[in-house]
Amino acid sequence: MIAILGGGISGLSIAYTLKKAGKKFILLEADNEVGGKIKSRKQKGYTFELGPNTVLINNPEIKSLLDELNLNQEIIQPDELAVKKRFILCNGKMEALPSSPGSLFSSKLIGLRSIFKVLGEPFKKPLDGKLEESLADFTRRRLGNEIYENFVYPFVTGIYAGDPEKMTMDYTLKILKEAEQNHGSIIKGMIKTIKAKKAENEASNIPKQKIFIFKDGLQRLPLRMAEEMSSEISYNSKVLQIIKLGQGYQINYTKEGEECSVKVEKLISTLPVHHLTNLITWNSDLTNALNQIHYVPAIICHFGYQKNDITTPEKAFGILSRKVETAPFLGVLFNSKFFPHTAPADKELITVISGGYKQEDFANWTVSKIQTTVKQAINDLFQSKNEPEFEHFYQWNQGIPQYEMGHKKIVAAIEKFELEHNGFHILGNFRDGISVSDCIANGIKFANSFNL
């Protein structure tokens, strides 16, 4: 018997794979629905996400999963022109991200000196790959400070909501470090990597347009996965204690107020770090290591406007903010620009993401203060004639795990624990990738490769 703790996308991917293999298991989920941070909602004709807003079909595992679940016919692909149009907030104004080599010379985001630094990057000697380096230091060393401040910082904070000065190249955008180490240059390496990836994608029938969503929201994916194993999922089941036995483990939990327990030979935790550490207090080495993983808050504000009340680009994906900007957000998504079905025909849906290290103090603000501050900034930026006719607010206090300097030692501590505790495995978005597609691939590979 196997127990899986957590019904987020990692736990579901493992469970789904075990189900196909005919394994006996139970999945304990504390909530009344699966999906973890993948949560979709519908109100007043708007369809919006409380967590990830899009997913990428960028590996064979997610492609096969969608095929097997017969979800391809439900996929909605974005407006291609809108997806390509992205902006950086520069001195309080939207500046288009250069979309061609020629546009670099007219962009306010990059000067001639930085262009020449990029052109000279292939001739710079690589650093010893054994040395750990922050994302900020790596970028400045290879491409210069302007590229870091105007491109890399906004991009990375838009994904991780983190601080590139603290983030490690060993786990964050490690494809760039691998390019430098294997080919002596980011540019040389990325050209070869992109070419190889294109061939690999073609062999796996991965579509060129990788961004997608479902008509009813991204939560359709975990809900559909759960349909395949409804009898194995125990909802409203909060794990209270994990006890080591001579052979296996005993899990004590409550289900809708009733105390329960189950004994299993193998245990797979996909719980967030702050939940798992409370359950394994009997191993201080692991809890001390896991407690070094920081989660930053993520605050999600949705606004719905009448189209004629707001001035936004005709085609656009979103805006990312530089570190020096005072705007109270990390990024803005023009949801209904690239997925028109997410708003009524005469309306426009905008998602604003705040928090992370940059707005960490928001955690101490009232909901009303955050919402008012963010809304005013959006109204000013887009010259809104009236207040939004729809508003929604959601706050993740423990939002996004950070891959910071020293993360390799944390992973080593997890691996040491797994070797010393036969049958106890630990996975999740805090270990080997935070994206939905990463978690699916890691979960499926794990279930297929381990003798469970």
Question: pLDDT of 342-393, one tens digit each?
Answer: 999 999 999 999 999 999 889 889 999 999 999 999 999 999 989 999 999 9
Q: Quick one: tokens of 168?
A: 């490690």
In angstroms, the CA 103 to CA 164 distance is: 27
- CATH 3.50.7.10 given to domain 2-36+221-293+403-449: no
Q: Residues of CATH 1.10.3110.10 domain(s) within the chain?
A: 110-203
pLDDT tens per residue, range 306-356 = 999 999 999 999 999 999 999 999 999 999 999 999 999 999 999 999 999
How wide is the angle at C-alpha 338 spanned by C-alphas 332 and 341, nearest 5°?
A: 110
The whole-number average pLDDT for the span 8-30 is 97
Fold of the domain built from segment(s) 295-401 = Polyamine Oxidase; Chain A, domain 2 (3.90.660)
pLDDT tens per residue, range 387-435 = 999 999 999 999 999 999 999 999 999 999 999 999 999 999 999 999 9
In angstroms, the CA 305 to CA 335 distance is: 12
Question: Which residue reads 């949705």 in tokens?
Answer: 302
CA distances from 234 to 3, 28, 156, 271 (A): 11, 5, 36, 15
- 110-203: what CATH class? mainly alpha
Q: Quick one: tokens of 77?
A: 């692909």
pLDDT tens per residue, range 206-226 = 887 789 999 999 999 999 999
Look at residue 212 in the predicted model and tell me its pLDDT: 94
pLDDT bin (cut points 50, 70, 90) of residue 269 is very high
Q: 24: phi > 0 → left, psi -120 to 50 → alpha, else beta; which?
A: beta
Q: Quick one: tokens of 423?
A: 């049958």
Side-chain-facing half-sphere of 131: CA atoms under 13 Å: 10
Q: Quick one: tokens of 244?
A: 């080591």
Intra-chain end-to-end CA distance of the chain, in Å = 9
**Which is nearest to 48 in space by CA: 397, 339, 377, 423?**
339
**The pLDDT of residue 254 is above 90:** yes
The single-letter DSSP state of residue 150 is I
329, 274 contact by CB (below 8 A): no
Residue 1: strand, helix, or coil: coil
DSSP strands (E only) in 188-284:
211-214, 233-234, 237-244, 249-255, 258-264, 266-269
The set of residues, in sequence order, having a beta carbon less than 8 Å from that of 298 and lying 6+ positions away, is 161, 353, 354, 355, 356, 395, 396, 399, 400
pTM of the model: 0.94
Q: Quick one: tokens of 21?
A: 């293999």
The whole-number average pLDDT for the span 3-27 is 97
Residue 47: strand, helix, or coil: strand
- Other beta carbons less than 10 A from residue 66's beta carbon: 19
**The pLDDT of residue 450 is above 80:** no
In angstroms, the CA 65 to CA 350 distance is: 30
Which residues lie across from 116 on neighbouring strands? none
The set of residues, in sequence order, having a beta carbon less than 8 Å from that of 327 and lying 6+ positions away, is 89, 92, 321, 377, 381
In angstroms, the CA 319 to CA 338 distance is: 13
pLDDT tens per residue, range 133-172 = 999 999 999 999 999 999 999 999 999 999 999 999 999 9
**Inter-axis angle of helices 9-20 and 436-449, to 10 degrees?**
30
Look at residue 386 in the predicted model and tell me its pLDDT: 92
Percent of the chain with pLDDT over 90: 90
pLDDT bin (cut points 50, 70, 90) of residue 451 is low
Beta-sheet pairing, 86-90 with 93-96: antiparallel
How wide is the angle at C-alpha 69 spanned by C-alphas 67 and 75, nearest 5°?
A: 70
**Which is nearest to 43 in space by CA: 385, 386, 367, 389?**
389
Q: Residues of CATH 3.50.50.60 domain(s) within the chain?
A: 2-36+221-293+403-449
Q: Residues of CATH 3.90.660.20 domain(s) within the chain?
A: 295-401
pLDDT tens per residue, range 74-110 = 999 999 999 999 999 999 999 999 988 778 888 999 9
